[in-house]
């Protein structure tokens, strides 16, 4: 983020997010665990993020094809750029992550402070799905909040959708994903390139709908912690984005 864009972002956020709008968004966020807020940044920032993400994918993408035991053997079929590489090589992303106007507004919507993620491997993640069947299967997040940028997405008829079940609890020893799906309504959200959404990741069971054909879905995820997360340690050897050989992961055939 350039020196010019930082003050512009502060002015932009102040104009876009009036107290009345923040109250409305907070209510929806608490109800649904999800809100779209592409207006949280300027067009300049969205354009710069797209260029930065594509640059990092070209340099550092690593393929993952596995299922994860701590979410009931749901799949992870995609390429990733790991958090430490993003932190090392992208001043743009790291400065945006620390942006005071961005954090202030997200905290107001959340109704509580957002803190830097205490796990460096979870601050950032870029993912690219591009093959038929690619998906980030049903899961929760170890930390409470994520701001997701839709860099590229196919049409909803191809699978460019997110599905959510809010107000659920992740028990890694007994995730019960399918029971949650039977007992609750599933909200489905479509997107266009440039969309941004804020997600309560620790209590919202969610997935990307598998691609119905070869197509491209690219996102970047910025993760923050709630106060409660700062006191809880990492649980389980399941950080598949960092290491495909974790004990909770089982490789699949291409």
Could you tell me the CATH number of the domain that includes residue 141?
A: 2.60.120.620
Identify whether 235 is part of a domain. no
| pLDDT of residue 215 exceeding 50 | yes
Q: Are 183 and 115 in contact (CB under 8 A)?
A: no
Total count of domains within the chain: 1
| pLDDT of residue 254 exceeding 70 | no
| Beta carbons within 8 Å of 9's beta carbon, 6+ residues apart | 1, 41, 42, 45, 99, 101, 102
Identify whether 26 is part of a domain. yes
What pLDDT score does 4 carry?
Answer: 42
The model carries a pTM of 0.94
Identify whether 35 is part of a domain. yes
Identify whether 244 is part of a domain. no
Taking alpha carbons only, the member of 184, 186, 142 closest to residue 161 is 186
Identify whether 34 is part of a domain. yes
Identify whether 58 is part of a domain. yes
Residues 125-172 pLDDT 10s:
999 999 999 999 999 999 999 999 999 999 999 999 999 999 999 999
Residues 59-114 pLDDT 10s:
999 999 999 999 999 999 999 999 999 999 999 999 999 999 999 999 999 999 99
Show the domain range for 81.
5-229
- 217-225 and 124-129 strand pairing: antiparallel
């Amino acid at each position: 983020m350039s020196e010019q864009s930082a003050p512009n972002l502060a002015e932009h956020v102040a104009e876009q997010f009036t107290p009345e709008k923040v109250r409305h968004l907070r209510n929806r966020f608490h109800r649904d665990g999800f809100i779209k807020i592409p207006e949280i940044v300027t067009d300049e920032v969205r354009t710069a993020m797209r260029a930065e993400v594509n640059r990092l994918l070209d340099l550092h993408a690593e393929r993952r094809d596995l299922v994860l035991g701590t979410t009931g053997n749901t799949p992870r079929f995609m390429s990733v750029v790991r958090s430490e590489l993003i932190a090392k090589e992208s001043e743009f992303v790291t400065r945006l992550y620390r942006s005071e106007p961005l954090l202030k507004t997200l905290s107001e919507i959340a109704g509580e402070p957002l803190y830097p993620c205490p796990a460096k491997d979870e601050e950032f993640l870029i993912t690219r799905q591009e093959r038929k069947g690619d998906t980030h299967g049903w899961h929760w997040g170890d930390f409470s909040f994520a701001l997701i940028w839709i860099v590229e997405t196919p049409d909803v008829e191809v699978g460019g959708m997110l599905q959510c079940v809010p107000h659920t609890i992740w028990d890694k020893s007994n995730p019960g994903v399918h029971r949650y799906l039977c007992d609750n309504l599933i909200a489905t959200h479509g997107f266009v390139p440039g969309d941004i959404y804020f997600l309560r990741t620790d209590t919202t069971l969610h997935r990307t709908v598998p691609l119905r054909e070869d197509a491209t879905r690219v996102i970047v995820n910025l993760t923050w912690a709630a106060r409660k997360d700062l006191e809880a340690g990492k649980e389980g050897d399941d950080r598949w984005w960092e290491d495909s050989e974790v004990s909770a992961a089982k490789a699949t055939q291409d």
